[in-house]
Amino acid sequence: MNPAFAQELAVAPTDPALVPVAEKVLAGERLNRQDGITLFESKDLLAIGALADLVNRQRNGDRVFIVANQHINPTNVCILRATCVFCSYARRPKEEGAYTMSLEEAFAEAELPKDSPVREFHIVGGLHPKLRLSYYEELIRGLKERHPGVQIKALTAVEIAHLARIEKTGIDEVLERLKAAGLDTLPGGGAEVFSAAVRATIADRKLVADEWIDVHRRAHRLGIRSNCTMLYGHVETYADRIDHLLMLRELQDETGGFLTYIPLAYHPDNNELGVRLGRTGTATTGFDDLKNLAVGRLFLDNIAHIKTHWIMNTPKVSQIALHFGVDDLEGTVVRERVYHEAGAETPQRLRFAEIVRIVKDAGRRPVERDAHYRELREW
């Protein structure tokens, strides 16, 4: 290996297959499909992490973005209860544990945080067969009225398409009405893995890949930025992962509308897929969690931010991830229901001061952001 090349990295590759990929990264060249598969196949995690850290520091310096946010899940009633076999959150309307918040209950939930001001509400839930678009318009409008200046990140592409079907209208009209009510950005959930074979196994009847992409394309054209995700650690292959990232990268080339990419670790407890696979506890390892984050940073060269979801990856692994290409540590969250139903043993929330400490102890600079990654204050 060229000595000058090795000196650019904190950890030089020991896997020969990784060397040409590393050389492309250092030359600023875009990685191709086979490069991505090579990264996932390699066991040289420290070198992959060093590459991702170098790319991230070139783009974001030593900044790590954090947010005082709150998750609100209005309902767990979902028409896909029987077919999304990886989900532990959904319930049938009369099933034990099913709930649907009234607007007043949702507004009361938004009052829970007392120790720091909330900057962002993150709102996702099930595909309720009877909740109309007007419910979500009133929810968003009411939150904006009660919490001036707070931004709303709400409703996955799957929920948007569901509302369009209920209202017998188009995706654009749903997005336009939500934007008029005060919607700021869309979350990235519901993407799972775009492979048709994988979706047929874990989420039959959910939006197919092109439909998910179309909702985000339309949102971007209307000036609504969004996040993007991938659910990993179940039945997908490395090729499936890279093909998924390719579709995200291609849409970002087209629209530039994605704010951040968040790889989401599958949790197997309390769902049918976990039973089929014979898994309990944590399905993914810290090794795979860190690799997914690092590969995301290296492959998605046109998406500015990579987020670790500490709810799924744990605060400790997420702290290490700040040296594996990650520049966003999520936020305070306050009350998380979806992944805790699937067996997540992480806290329901982190206090803002604790998030700041995690970032500083990792040798990075905490920067509070809003939903559009505008910097609000730093330490």
- 196-222 pLDDT tens trace: 999 999 998 899 999 999 999 999 999
The reported pLDDT for the residue numbered 339 is: 53
Q: Check residue 1 and give its pLDDT.
A: 45
The pTM assigned to this predicted structure is 0.94
Higher pLDDT, 34 or 281: 34
For the stretch 260-299, pLDDT in tens is 999 999 988 888 898 898 887 777 899 999 999 999 999 9
DSSP string of 53-74, one letter each residue: HHHHHHHHTTEEEEE-EEEE--
What percentage of the chain exceeds 90 in pLDDT? 79
pLDDT at residue number 342: 46
Q: What is the pLDDT of residues 298-351, one digit of tens each?
A: 999 999 999 999 888 889 999 999 999 999 998 887 666 665 454 556 566 788
Q: How far apart are CA 136 and CA 72, in angstroms?
A: 12
- Tally of residues, the chain: 379
B/e letters for 123-162, b = 16+ CB within 10 Å, e = fewer, are bbbbbbeebebebbbebbbbbbeebeebbbbbbbbbbbbb
Residue 347: per-residue pLDDT: 65
**Predicted confidence (pLDDT) at residue 104 exceeds the cutoff of 90:** yes
Indicate the average pLDDT of the chain: 92
Confidence of residue 3 (pLDDT cuts 50, 70, 90): very low
